[in-house]
Amino acid sequence: MKTIEALQLDVSIADIRRAILKARGLKLDESSIRSQGNFISVYVDDYSEGGKKRGGGRGGGASAKEQNEEYFHRVQNTKRLLPNIPLVGYPDCSRCVVSKNPKAQTENMLIVEGYGLRACMNTPGLVGSKTRSNSVMENMAVLGIEAARTTIVDELAAVMGNQMDIDPRHMQLLADVMTYKGDVLGITRFGLAKMRDSVLQLASFEKTPDHLFDAAVKGKVDGIEGVSECIIMGQTMAIGTGGMKVVRKLGMGEGEFERKATLFEDAFAEVYGKR
Beta bridge partners of 99: 109
pLDDT for 227 equals 80
Residues 55 and 117 in one domain: no
pLDDT for 110 equals 84
Residue 210 lies in a domain: yes
Nearest to 132 by CA among 144, 145, 147: 147
Residue 258 lies in a domain: no
Residue 179 lies in a domain: no
96 has pLDDT over 60 = yes
Q: Is 87 helix (H, G, I), strand (E, B) or coil?
A: coil
In the chain, % of residues over pLDDT 70: 91
pLDDT of 104-135, one tens digit each?
A: 777 888 888 888 888 888 888 888 888 888 88
Residue 184 lies in a domain: no
Q: Which of 131, 148, 164 is the last residue of a domain?
A: 131
pLDDT of 63-91, one tens digit each?
A: 777 778 888 888 888 888 888 887 777 77
pLDDT for 161 equals 66
Amino acid at 23: A
pLDDT band for position 93 (50/70/90)?
A: confident
Distance from C-alpha of 152 to C-alpha of 139, rounded to nearest angstrom: 10
Residue 145 lies in a domain: no
Domain region containing 207: 189-243
Q: How far is CA 18 from the centre of its chain?
A: 32
Distance from C-alpha of 190 to C-alpha of 180, rounded to nearest angstrom: 16
Residues 63 and 106 in one domain: no
Q: Which helix (H) or strand (E) holds 111?
A: strand 108-114
Residue 273 lies in a domain: no
How many domains is the chain built from? 3
Residues 13 and 73 in one domain: yes
Which CATH number does the domain housing residue 208 bear?
1.10.150.390
